[in-house]
Structure 1
Amino acid sequence: MPDGVIGEHPGRGHGRTGRPPLTDERKAEIRLEIARAAVELFVDQGVAATTGDQIAQAVGLSTRTLWRYFPGKESCVSPLFAAGIDAIAAALRAWPAGAPLEDALERASTSGEGSMLRPEPPRVRTLLRLTRTEPGLRAVWLQAHDEAEPVFARALADRAGLDAVDLRSQIQAAMLNAALRAAVEHYAWRTDEPDPDPAKARSELAAIIRSALIFTANGIT
């Protein structure tokens, strides 16, 4: 009989059991669940009054596990702020020559799972309003756009058939990134009126982003 424990398969360890590791897809789903719970708490009771324990409890996690996903409570909303970056980059790569920029990006920036605002816009609109008075949330919002810019630049370089990002791609990406941020902030900040219904809000946001993209495509004159 070979050396070892009866019933143990070679190379499998000594009776180690436990849950299988989470897939990247499931981790992303959990991050989004946490983000949605955090935004609800921030909007309903304020950032200062919200604790990591409350966010973790809302999604059925331990606080210790929550901090494995995010370094702080404000950063819990980062998946919402970063939503749509990959979809927009894909749309940039597929942007047909001669087609208007606003047509190429409108769907990627405002609809479906690739949306910049994954939950219904009214809720995130209220969250974005908090970035005016909550430095921690403002930092997370700006960080999302800081991380988006090189992704857009790489996509634009790919579209142009370049092996590396050039100055033109960087400037185009910076203009696009700034336009998208300004459009969403304009949508969120321009009024303190009660949030409209989701369908109306999404339509309004789409129109504002479309206008911003037209301004960007036309450049500064």
Structure 2
Amino acid sequence: MPDGAIAQPPGRGSGRTGRPPLTEERKAEIRLEIARAAVELFVAQGVAATTGEQIGQAVGVSARTVWRYFPSKEMCVSPLFAAGIDAIAAALRAWRPGRPLDEALGRAVTTGERPMARSHLPQVRALLRLTRTEPGLRAVWLQAHDEAEPVFARALADRAGLPAVDLRSEIQAAMLNAALRTAVEHYAWRAPEAAGDAATARDDAGDAATAQAELMATMCSALVVAAEGLA
């Protein structure tokens, strides 16, 4: 040891201290908790009146943590939109030749590779209703579908055994994306509001099961219309 150097206690200065880093799974859970809290606040008091501090308090984290995960309060809801899109992409990857697409969608939404959590549906429905009057939330919803389209195209190309996405798979993905987006909006915007949106945003097992069945029926109807084309 050089003259004048101060000996360090064992373990000090030799590595990182403090809490261990969060796992990716835990980060995803925190993002979803923030998303669900944001929806409840947006529904109850509007987007403009909601702050990052309020969203953080509802989850038990600081506003700084909220902004670490999301660049804006509107973007806080993106995990709820992404969950449904991920389920659809998984359905396309699992879609077996000779089987109807609505069967694959139904299986993926409930029990597939990345199933859509049934308990999230009432919140998503309440959130989508807000996209009619909140331009910031509408932008997040449309961005989610814009980012989903190349994912759908890649899944369709893989199913067809193509080495790369071609024009056909891109057009199929665009048609599917538009049909499903319109179906989900139809389901959300025209659903009865018996208990009000604030109550709808909270979990209820019976309501969630009904919501799942209604959503699947609407999506299947949209696929039939899309398959018929413009003739």
- Asked if 1:215 corresponds to 2:216, the answer is no
* Seq. identity, %: 74
Say how many residue pairs are matched: 218
Alignment-derived partner of residue 86 in structure 2: 86
Deviations 1:160-211 (A, max 9, x none): 1111110111111111111111011000112553258322222111111111
Other-structure match for 1:156: 156
> Hey, what's the Cα distance between the residues in 1 that align with 2:223 and 2:109?
11
What is the CA RMSD across the aligned residues, in angstroms? 2.5
**Structure 1 residue 123, shift from structure 2 partner:** 2.9
Is the contact between residue 102 and residue 223 of structure 2 (CA under 8 Å) also seen in structure 1?
A: yes
Q: Distance in 2 between matches of 1:180 and 1:51?
A: 32
Distance 1:193 1:62, change over 3 A: closer
1:98 match: 98
Partner residue, 1:171:
171
- Quote the residue 1:129 is aligned against: 129
Once the two structures are overlaid, the 10-residue window that deviates more, 192-201 or 131-140, is: 192-201
- TM-score, with length taken from structure 1: 0.88
Of the candidates 194, 202, 206, which is equivalent to residue 216 of structure 2?
Answer: 206
Query: Does the residue aligned with 1:114 lie in a helix, a strand or coil?
Result: coil
Q: 2: CA distance between counterparts of 1:69 and 1:145?
A: 20
Q: Within the alignment, does 1:185 sit opposite 2:185 as a pair? A: yes
Structure 2 residue aligned with 1:32 = 32
Gapped regions of structure 2 (runs ≥ 5): 201-206
d(CA) in 2 for partners of 1:220, 1:159: 25
- Please give the alpha-carbon distance, in whole angstroms, between the structure 2 residues aligned to 1:142 and 1:39: 17
Shift of 1:93: 2.0
Corresponding position: 1:55 with 2:85 = no
**2: CA distance, partners of 1:66 / 1:43:** 19
Query: Judging changes above 3 Å, is the alpha-carbon distance between structure 1 residues 96 and 207 closer, same or farther for their aligned structure 2 residues?
Result: same
Seen in structure 2, the aligned counterparts of structure 1 residues 120 and 85 have a Cα distance that, compared at 3 Å, is closer
Moved over 4 A (4+): 1-9, 110-113
**Could you tell me which residue of structure 2 aligns to residue 114 of structure 1?**
115
The Cα of 1:64 is off from its aligned counterpart by 0.9
Say whether the 8 Å CA contact 1:87–1:108 is kept in structure 2: yes
Matched residue SS, 1:84: helix
Q: Counterpart of 1:44?
A: 44
Distance across 1 between alignment mates of 2:138 and 2:79: 14
CA 1:105–1:16 in structure 2 vs 1: closer, same or farther (change >3 Å)?
closer
8 Å CA contact 1:153–1:169 kept in 2: the answer is yes
2: CA distance, partners of 1:186 / 1:177: 14
Q: Does 1:16 find its partner at 2:26?
A: no
Structure 1 residue 26, shift from structure 2 partner: 1.1
Contact 1:43-1:126 within 8 A present in 2 as well:
yes
Q: Say whether the 8 Å CA contact 1:52–1:73 is kept in structure 2.
A: yes
